[in-house]
Chains A and B, each alone.
Chain A
Amino acid sequence: MGSPVPGAQGTPPAAAGGTPPAASSTSPGLKPPTRRGSELFLLAFAALLVTIALILVEANQEQELTMRIVWLGLAYLGLLSVAHFAVRRWAPYADPVILPCVALLNGLGLVMIHRIDLAMADVKLPKGVVWSPAAPKQVLWTAIALVLFCTALKVLSDHRTLARYGYTCGFLGLVALVLPGVLPSFIAPEINGAKIWLSFGAFSIQPGEFAKILLMVFFAAFLVSKRELFTTAGRRVLGMDLPRARDLGPLVAAWLVGVSIMVLQKDLGSSLLFFGIVLVLLYVATERAAWVVLGVVMFCVGAVAAWKMFGHVQIRVQNWLDPFADAANKGYQIVQSLFGLGTGGLFGAGLGGGRPDQIPEANTDFITAVIGEELGFVGLAAVLLIYTVFAMRGMRGALAVRDTFGKLLGGGLAFAVAFQIFIVVGGVTKLIPMTGITAPFLSYGGSSLLANYILVALLLRISDAARAPKTTPKPRPQQPAIADQFTVMVERPK
């Protein structure tokens, strides 16, 4: 735990403060490399890829190829550079791969949203409808998100500060989560069957996206402070230590929240995502598989009950089992998604060469299906691998950071992104029932983008803390030795 060297096994928590950290981070004068240069290089590479993607789309869509594209590419690089310098200034030891991954995904998302704009404009024009393009709005959102990202990095100089606001975060998160479900529909309209938006005129937000992070902060803080409580074993059943019944509180609470999202907001994806994240946090905090088993059982019970009781759940399951049964109506979306993916095949129809207009919600929930159609399996796999690299680097930061809160929060955030992409892409490719949540960074949507950039800022902050040399050497020489001895004393009689 205390070692910043990746791959080292965790040592007992009590030893954390005292074990001498790896030589590089303590030796005076020998600072570890910040790797900001690598980050800048990777960012430029990401901007280049995004520019090439834009050129391909424009060429395939018979748009005029002008120098404008190059300027757009450079502008994007400029935006990224702002983020890069913010990292350089406020989190110099942060992981150098995370931001380029995000930049590539966000840029690819912008290109795809622009590409879908072109397709939709093409479809709507003969009907006399003018399609209002989504890409410019998404560019604006990206800019706002980057401002928020920089602000978060600057304001939050130490992620442990967040732990202090755990309960505040929890309260705000819960309110944000439940708000659209309970508010009247003139302010929280039901869009595509889900009641997850708050609408203020032309401007609408999805508070659930922010709730996800706020609740994660709360759970991490809560679990860290009450860790001992949850590790106390209850009865032993089938070789598994079951938690005591009274410690089930948080799990039951999370379960209730998940179910209420499903019922009040008809948002299966968020419900699944939220519950999965809480389970993982519990598991990491307690190191007990029993929580996971218990949680999965509870989830299954809830899912079966929901399936029995709610028509919209039954439709989703039916569409998953056999979308072709009603390919023209209920199964239309998933069938079109599969057709797009199949038509794309191994190498895809080429950027700008597919038919994204065939898939409803192409620029939000189904954007990965459009990528699969136009860039083929190869492109979809590449995108999945970028997400994997992103999540794994986040996880690496969590492994390397020294404090338990940071570990828990970092691990949770990294898992949240991976799990969300699993739910989205799994739904689009018919691995699991389609639940309708956005692909982080790729999908069109301001709330999602803002929230996910905050998530990136947190991950960078944690990875920075993991790699940074200790600036304030506060030697606490004696404490750990005692702690060590104490542990040894307890162990001996066994």
Chain B
Amino acid sequence: MNKPLRRVGLAMMAMMLLLLANATYVQVIKADDYRKDPLNRRVVLDQYSRERGQIIAAGGEPLATVEKTTDRLRYLRKYQGAAFAPVTGFFSTVYGSSGLERAEDDLLNGSDDRLFARRVSDLITGRDPKGGSLQLTIDAALQRVAFEQLQGVNGSVVAIRPQTGEILAMASTPSYDPNALASHDVEEQMAAWKALNAPDGDLPMLNRSIAGLYAPGSTFKLIVAAAALAEGKTKDSEVDGRPVITLPGTNTPLPNYNDTNCGNGVTATLQEALAKSCNTAFAVLADQLGPEKLRKAAAKFGFDDQDLNIPMPVETSRLGPMTERPAVYQTGIGQRDVLVTPLENAVVAATIANGGVRMRPHLVQKILAPDLQVISEDKGDDVEDAMKVDHAHALRDMMVESEKNTAGGGKLSGVTIASKTGTAEHGENVKNTKPHAWYVAFAPAEKPEIAIAVIVENGGDAGLAATGGRVAAPLGRAVVGAYLGSR
């Protein structure tokens, strides 16, 4: 009877080996899949049971904080509301996170390596581990002004300090209240999420400042002008001034706005062409420069940068293929396949304002330990000399002229603004789609303190006749005025 008993013993061993093999599969091979499965709430629960760090505006106003609760998640995330949602993002137990909550998650939840030393000491002293905090470059008052200015339209305002690349404001409308998504009531979260992601909605959760890609229209002429200056042109150089030209090899006309003359109708100075935003002049100029030089000039201002993180990843602004000459013409006036984010257009203005030196845009000024001691500080760094200083000054002068030529209300007295407007056609049916209205500017022109980009999607109320000047410029001026006036 011992032989079958031994066999049964072997069978027992085999069963245990099977169990061990399967446990290896589940706990080692598939472990990461299970751990990161969106349905697995353990990771979120763990993060919630730690006190998440704060997100604080430049002036010290808290934008995202935690509140102790009696439920099992222990801490409830609280936000300032819709105005700051594009900056802070949301932190949801069901839907994950976005914005800084996502980009700086490791720091906020306390697992970041920069907090390592403190974690060890927490372990020894037996304190609850806490997350680190972020002090932002955001000027809370300015952010609110920008958000209020955008009420009633879909669009974005980005404001940058030219000398450092600090993002002072980054508003996007329509927006959403992240508090609803951070609720510990799952039903409330789900209802809010459903409403925000309605299929025919205005995409309130899209952060238009960094994730919205728009045709830049005439604002792109700044880059063409910068490229021309670099090629030896001056603001007084003669450029094409015809009211309308035909794209090479086609019958397609490319007119100026309202078919007006530029200069004397044959030629105009570069300054006049920019001030009046002559399409023909810049289309021909782009053709003369050629796709390569255009691309290089744009790259110096931050186009085609695939790795820009502020620390949220920013959509890559791009020129498009430009395979044939008509495409180059159209690229010269910021149409065809050119796409930019509002942030990138603000960087263009900031770079010109900063004497041609492009600073890396960033949102986080200081990283703070849980006890709010500074761990590291971002003083800003220059990434590229996009233009020579005198070229930048020449372009600034041209922009000051452009501002003088720009319609729209809200002009500021006592402050010289350097600006460029844009009215960008887009969509399948170009002639019947309302154009986007752009306004990029910096001020004061002589000693810039703020550079901004404003976009109003589909021209706001002004309809088909909308021009950047009439729709976007008043908004931009109000933001600039609020910033300079507060100082």
Contact = CB atoms under 8 A, between A and B. Distances in A.
A10 B7 CA distance: 13
B3 A9 contact: yes
Given A339-B37, A395-B12, A426-B22, A344 B27 contact: yes
A1 B2 contact: yes
Q: Which of A8, A414, A422 has the most CB of B within 10 A?
A: A422
Chain B contact residues: helix, strand, loop or mixed: helix
A264 interface: no
A126 interface: yes
B31 interface: yes
A429 B34 CA distance: 12
Given A338-B26, A418-B15, A426-B18, A343 B5 contact: no
Contact of A418 (B16, B39, B42): B16
A317 interface: no
B2 A123 contact: no
B27 A341 contact: yes
B113 interface: no
Given A380-B23, A418-B16, A411 B3 contact: no
Contacts of A372: 23, 26-27
A392 interface: yes
B2 A10 contact: yes
B34 A343 contact: yes
Contact of A335 (B2, B39, B70): B39
Contacts of A431: 18-19, 22
Interface in A311-349: 324, 327-328, 335, 338-346
B296 interface: no
Nearest to A418: B12
Chain B: interface residue count, which band?
35 or more
B189 to A, nearest CB: 15
B6 A341 contact: no
Contact of B12 (A8, A328, A343, A415): A415
Nearest to B27: A377
Given A338-B26, A418-B15, A395 B9 contact: yes
A369 to B, nearest CB: 10
A228 to B, nearest CB: 13
Contact of A404 (B1, B6, B12, B26): B1
A421 B12 CA distance: 10
B2 A376 contact: no
A285 to B, nearest CB: 7
Given A123-B72, A419-B15, A358 B23 contact: no
Interface string A206-241: 000000000000000000000000000000000000
A76 interface: no
A387 B19 CA distance: 12
Contacts of A345: 27-28, 31, 35
B382 interface: no
Contact of B1 (A285, A346, A354, A426): A285
B238 to A, nearest CB: 70
A425 B19 contact: yes
A381 B26 CA distance: 12
A432 to B, nearest CB: 9
Interface in B142-196: none
A8 B19 CA distance: 29
B383 interface: no
A391 B15 CA distance: 12
A247 interface: no
A341 B34 contact: yes
Contacts of A357: 72
B40 A346 contact: no
A408 B37 contact: no
A342 B5 contact: no
A154 interface: no
Nearest to B37: A339
Contacts of A391: 12
B30 interface: yes
Contacts of A387: 16
Interface string A163-191: 00000000000000000000000000000
B462 interface: no
Contacts of B12: 388, 391-392, 395, 414-415, 418-419
Contact of A395 (B5, B34, B43): B5
Residue among B7, B8, B46, B71 with max Cβ neighbours from chain A (10 Å): B8
Contact of A342 (B15, B26, B72): B26
A399 B6 contact: yes
B123 to A, nearest CB: 11
A284 B8 contact: yes
Contact of A287 (B1, B13, B24, B27): B1
B33 interface: yes
A357 B49 CA distance: 14
Interface in B34-69: 34-35, 37, 39-43, 45-46
A344 B35 CA distance: 8
A280 interface: yes
A299 interface: no
B484 interface: no
A398 interface: yes
Contact of B16 (A280, A327, A384, A408): A384
Given A283-B8, A392-B9, A419-B15, A339 B20 contact: no
A44 to B, nearest CB: 27
15 contacts: A8-B2, A283-B4, A284-B1, A287-B3, A328-B39, A339-B39, A339-B42, A341-B26, A343-B34, A343-B42, A345-B35, A355-B46, A372-B26, A377-B28, A411-B8
Interface of B: 1-9, 11-13, 15-16, 18-20, 22-24, 26-28, 30-35, 37, 39-43, 45-46, 70-72
Given A284-B1, A344-B27, A429-B19, 5 more contacts: A10-B2, A395-B5, A411-B5, A415-B11, A430-B22
